Structure 1
Amino acid sequence: MRGPSLKRPLIVYPLIVHLVTLLVSVLILIGGALRIDSGGPYADEKITPVIAAAIDRDPAGGLVIRQTEALSALQTEAPQLWFLVEDDAGNSVDFGAVPPVFEAFRGRLAGLSFAQLRDRTPPHPMTAILRRETADIGALTILGHGPLLELNLIVLLASTVVFLPIILLLSLTSFAITPWIVRRALTGIARIALEAERIDPDRRGRRLSEAHVPREIAPLVRAMNDALRRLDEGHERQQRFISMASHELRTPIAVLQAKVENAGDPAVRALGDDIQRLTILTEQLLDLTRMAQGGTPAPVDLAALARGVVADLAPLAIAGGRTMEVKVGSRETCLGDAAALERVLMNLLRNALDHGGRHVVLRVMGRVLEVEDDGPGIPADQRERVFEPFYRLRPQGGGSGLGLNLVAEVVARHDGRVTIRAAPGRGTIVRVELGLGNVTETHALK
């Protein structure tokens, strides 16, 4: 089950908060502007370009008004239209009922450029706009009264023109940049995840790096490192206990074996097989301990190693009335632990001799080893389980249940895999492939 994503609390929620905050701020500003301003409506600025386009000159250079379609439409829209126009030479012309109070501006408009005059008393006849426009006949200063705009509409238009692009820009940048910022901020966590994936029981002593981790995540990383340290300490104590116990058991077992072999009572001497099982179990526990400690890899001649192991086990095979054979295809060295690989072949061959048939074949094909016997075989549904520690195919048998588990551990440490399949006719083939890269699983072919 997938857990909740950090994108929503780190990206979506802050963005919503920012947008709501901006919207509330805009509404407060609009409300404040509407409450503070009490000067009445505004004169619409669109009249000055229309008026400027309707001004022309007479032959004497004075200003005259031409009745344009735009000016006629403006008169229809605002019957109370009036305006006063003046050029830089002091020539002026007026239209409509210019309030007497503005007559004082006649002859002085050329010195002005911008003004918004507001009348607080309805119907606001003195609300006017003053703008400087450039027409075909030159620069003109226009003071006029036309359609009136309420402050609410002006503020709404202004907020739409100003704040809407800001909101859109903020939204786009937040959706585009915030995820990138979050990814950059969480890069250290991704590195920790990769480091954590490399941690396994065979590579102890590793710790997660705190160098690129956000301060908020650092306590979790330190807690994980403390947990890894405690696990390493517990594993080391366990390995020391197994090693010391195995070493301590070897001496009393050897003494007991000598006494049993020299005993005159046949019933006592019959205990020799059980003592042998104890000896093998102790040696295998020591093998596991030594393997956990690791060693320095070196080139191993697998063909020479196979011949040496077969030679060591030849007396055991002859005593049991069995035969062994080594078949070498291509010779190839393998980088690894020669002693550990020798224990792999020793365990596989002894299993084949103890539980197989009359003839055992060891094949060496480059970095691939195969041990084939002509025994009763291993059932398909148990070929995976035989690699489990202390699992025995035949509970009444004489094995310890650690041999094939040790094989699987050693092969995994050599970047390989061990598989089991049925031999042609009858029997079992155990195949060991070494140096496969990062393959560490143990598979059984059905």
Structure 2
Amino acid sequence: MSKSQPSLRWRLVSRLSFLQAIFLSLLAVLIVVALWATGSFISLQPEDETIDAISQSVGRDQTGALVLKETPALAARRGNLPGLWFVARDRGGNTIRDGSVPPAYAVIGGALDGIGQARFGSNLGGSVVPAARLQWVSSPAGEVQVLTGVDGSVSTIRILGAMGIVFFSALLPLLIVTAVATVIAAPLVVRRAFSSLDSAVARAGQIDINRQGTRLPVEDVPREILPLVEAINEALSRLDEGYERQKRLFSHLAHEWRTPVAILQARLDSLPAGPLKERLFEDTVRLATLAEQFLDLQRLNHRFEPVPVNLVEVAQQVVSELAPLAIAANYEPCFNRDEEVVEVLGDRLAIERAVTNLVQNAIQHGGRSGRITVHVGRASGITVTDEGSGIPQEEQARIFEPFHRLPGHGKGFGLGLNLVQEIARLHGGGVCVLDGPTGGAAFRLSFPAVG
């Protein structure tokens, strides 16, 4: 799987987290607006801005008396509130009045020096007293008491600032906690939802040509993905059926092939000796070998119960059976062993076919001269050596591929060495090609030692 391929799992996690972040942000904005509109959490009063503008305009002259400076903020408030009035006084009783101060508030400040802030107003008894706000605030002249009306509006900057305070002090921590929970919880939820797919992927990794009947599990698979899993299982069923038909046909053809080959060999035996008979005999042996190799391919699909096999007996039997063919091809067959018994665990028939293929390969490609030596040793396994031209270095990595033939060696079918490799793998061993001591090829078939 390429790392550049998009991850569905993390795509779901990221999109889920993104959508949740959007919804949480919208919810936070709605909460702030609702709290501000109802006054349940934050209350912005228009006179707050008026009091701030007044307090920053109050100063003192050289004698220490309070004076009023016309600042831009105060001028702006005058423009917004044509009827603006206020009274500002300090702790010493110094007072500044501006605008038309309602009579009810003309002397109220001195009586409320101990009050930090208060709101006033009444319409009881037919006497209307306009609403007012009193508050002690800091100013360039020090702490002053400001009393003013409550008319006016709250600026957008002040509203945004208040909302920012609420957002960063209360809602942002909530959003951070929720985001962290989303980052942790979303992958867990998605991973749990994908657990059934992980099981299907693991089962898919077990599909092999030698394991017919393997199917992907459908238990707990999400409904949206179930049709895909079922389609794959149906495809696997069709492949298994086709493979079984091929195996039956393959086996039938290989068996049927033996009959005409046996008839040819019987008729060849009745011919007088000569070069033509020898060539026909070799061609017939090649056909018989091909039939056996097809049967070997069929046998490799069946598992076997390992039993002790004496490699010395197997190799000696193969040399004895193929000696007439080797001698007819102008070779001298030789057999060497280090010990009388070299045992491995495996299938005797399969090992015998592997050694047979190695010897037949040496007969076909050994140059039709010299010796073909089969050596058995506990450490080295079975080694078949000829005295031909050997295997070119650039071809040694490919000669075990099915149907691969060396350039200029067109008589073989390219199956023998591949079968040897497969048989060695089934037994937990291997096969390799080496340079023979006289320049020919040496094929070494090794098996795990019996401990």
Q: TM-score with structure 2 length normalisation?
A: 0.67
Q: Following the alignment from structure 2 to structure 1, what is the Cα–Cα distance between the partners of residues 226 and 375? A: 54
CA displacement at 1:317 relative to structure 2: 3.9
CA contact (8 A) 1:333 1:367 kept: no
Q: Over aligned residues, Cα RMSD in angstroms?
A: 4.3
Taking a change above 3 Å as real, the CA distance of residues 33 and 386 of structure 1, as seen in their structure-2 partners, is: same
Taking a change above 3 Å as real, the CA distance of residues 8 and 43 of structure 1, as seen in their structure-2 partners, is: farther
Question: What is the CA deviation profile of residues 193-232 of structure 1, one whole-angstrom value per residue up to 9, with x for unaligned ones?
Answer: 3333333323333223334544443333322222222222
- Pairing 1:291–2:300 present: yes
> How do 1:269-418 and structure 2 match up within 5 A?
269=277, 271-319=280-328, 320-328=330-338, 333-356=343-366, 357-366=370-379, 368-393=381-406, 395=408, 398-418=411-431
SS in 1 for 2:133: coil
* Aligned match for 2:30, one of 25, 28, 31: 28
Q: Partner of 1:117 in structure 2?
A: none
Amino acid at match of 1:13: R
Q: Following the alignment from structure 1 to structure 2, what is the Cα–Cα distance between the partners of residues 339 and 167? A: 73
Q: Partner of 2:79 in structure 1?
A: none
Q: Following the alignment from structure 1 to structure 2, what is the Cα–Cα distance between the partners of residues 329 and 212? A: 59
Taking a change above 3 Å as real, the CA distance of residues 422 and 309 of structure 1, as seen in their structure-2 partners, is: same
Question: What is the CA deviation profile of residues 7-36 of structure 1, one whole-angstrom value per residue up to 9, with x for unaligned ones?
Answer: 442111211111111112222333445556
- Pairing 1:18–2:28 present: no
Amino acid at match of 1:290: R
Aligned-residue sequence identity (percent) comes to: 34
Q: Following the alignment from structure 1 to structure 2, what is the Cα–Cα distance between the partners of residues 96 and 371? A: 110
Amino acid at match of 1:429: A
CA displacement at 1:6 relative to structure 2: 2.4
> How do 1:145-294 and structure 2 match up within 5 A?
152=159, 154-211=162-219, 213-263=221-271, 269=277, 271-294=280-303
Q: Partner of 2:445 in structure 1?
A: 432
Amino acid at match of 2:225: I
Q: Partner of 1:6 in structure 2?
A: 8
Q: Matched residue pairs, number?
A: 367
CA displacement at 1:397 relative to structure 2: 5.1
Taking a change above 3 Å as real, the CA distance of residues 289 and 216 of structure 1, as seen in their structure-2 partners, is: same
Q: Partner of 2:45 in structure 1?
A: 41
Q: Following the alignment from structure 1 to structure 2, what is the Cα–Cα distance between the partners of residues 162 and 382? A: 75
Q: Following the alignment from structure 1 to structure 2, what is the Cα–Cα distance between the partners of residues 278 and 169? A: 78
Q: Partner of 2:98 in structure 1?
A: none
CA contact (8 A) 2:386 2:442 kept: yes
CA contact (8 A) 2:36 2:43 kept: no
Q: Following the alignment from structure 1 to structure 2, what is the Cα–Cα distance between the partners of residues 169 and 237? A: 62
CA displacement at 1:389 relative to structure 2: 2.6
| Higher mean displacement: 282-291 or 409-418 | 409-418
Q: Following the alignment from structure 1 to structure 2, what is the Cα–Cα distance between the partners of residues 179 and 255? A: 71
Q: Following the alignment from structure 2 to structure 1, what is the Cα–Cα distance between the partners of residues 325 and 273? A: 25
CA displacement at 1:419 relative to structure 2: 1.4
Q: Partner of 1:421 in structure 2?
A: 434
| Higher mean displacement: 10-19 or 425-434 | 425-434
CA displacement at 1:96 relative to structure 2: 8.2
Q: Following the alignment from structure 1 to structure 2, what is the Cα–Cα distance between the partners of residues 342 and 96? A: 109
Taking a change above 3 Å as real, the CA distance of residues 202 and 99 of structure 1, as seen in their structure-2 partners, is: closer
Taking a change above 3 Å as real, the CA distance of residues 301 and 285 of structure 1, as seen in their structure-2 partners, is: same
Taking a change above 3 Å as real, the CA distance of residues 228 and 247 of structure 1, as seen in their structure-2 partners, is: same
Taking a change above 3 Å as real, the CA distance of residues 208 and 249 of structure 1, as seen in their structure-2 partners, is: same
Q: Following the alignment from structure 1 to structure 2, what is the Cα–Cα distance between the partners of residues 12 and 176? A: 12
SS in 1 for 2:375: strand
Taking a change above 3 Å as real, the CA distance of residues 202 and 240 of structure 1, as seen in their structure-2 partners, is: same
CA contact (8 A) 1:317 1:324 kept: no
Q: Following the alignment from structure 1 to structure 2, what is the Cα–Cα distance between the partners of residues 154 and 83? A: 32
> How do 1:84-163 and structure 2 match up within 5 A?
95=115, 124-125=132-133, 152=159, 154-163=162-171
Q: Following the alignment from structure 2 to structure 1, what is the Cα–Cα distance between the partners of residues 326 and 275? A: 26
CA displacement at 1:268 relative to structure 2: 7.7
Where structure 1 has 5 or more consecutive residues not aligned to the other structure, the ranges are 45-70, 86-92, 105-119, 129-144, 437-446
CA contact (8 A) 2:357 2:420 kept: yes
Amino acid at match of 1:282: A
Amino acid at match of 2:195: T
Where structure 2 has 5 or more consecutive residues not aligned to the other structure, the ranges are 49-89, 96-104, 137-146
Q: Following the alignment from structure 1 to structure 2, what is the Cα–Cα distance between the partners of residues 415 and 220? A: 37
Amino acid at match of 2:287: L
Q: Following the alignment from structure 1 to structure 2, what is the Cα–Cα distance between the partners of residues 342 and 14? A: 63
CA displacement at 1:246 relative to structure 2: 1.6
Taking a change above 3 Å as real, the CA distance of residues 314 and 240 of structure 1, as seen in their structure-2 partners, is: same
CA contact (8 A) 1:331 1:366 kept: no
Taking a change above 3 Å as real, the CA distance of residues 155 and 84 of structure 1, as seen in their structure-2 partners, is: farther
CA contact (8 A) 2:319 2:374 kept: no
Q: Following the alignment from structure 1 to structure 2, what is the Cα–Cα distance between the partners of residues 212 and 332? A: 53
Q: TM-score with structure 1 length normalisation?
A: 0.68
CA contact (8 A) 2:258 2:288 kept: yes
SS in 2 for 1:271: helix
Q: Following the alignment from structure 2 to structure 1, what is the Cα–Cα distance between the partners of residues 311 and 110? A: 109
SS in 2 for 1:175: helix
Taking a change above 3 Å as real, the CA distance of residues 261 and 327 of structure 1, as seen in their structure-2 partners, is: closer
CA displacement at 1:170 relative to structure 2: 1.5
CA contact (8 A) 1:332 1:367 kept: no
Amino acid at match of 2:245: R
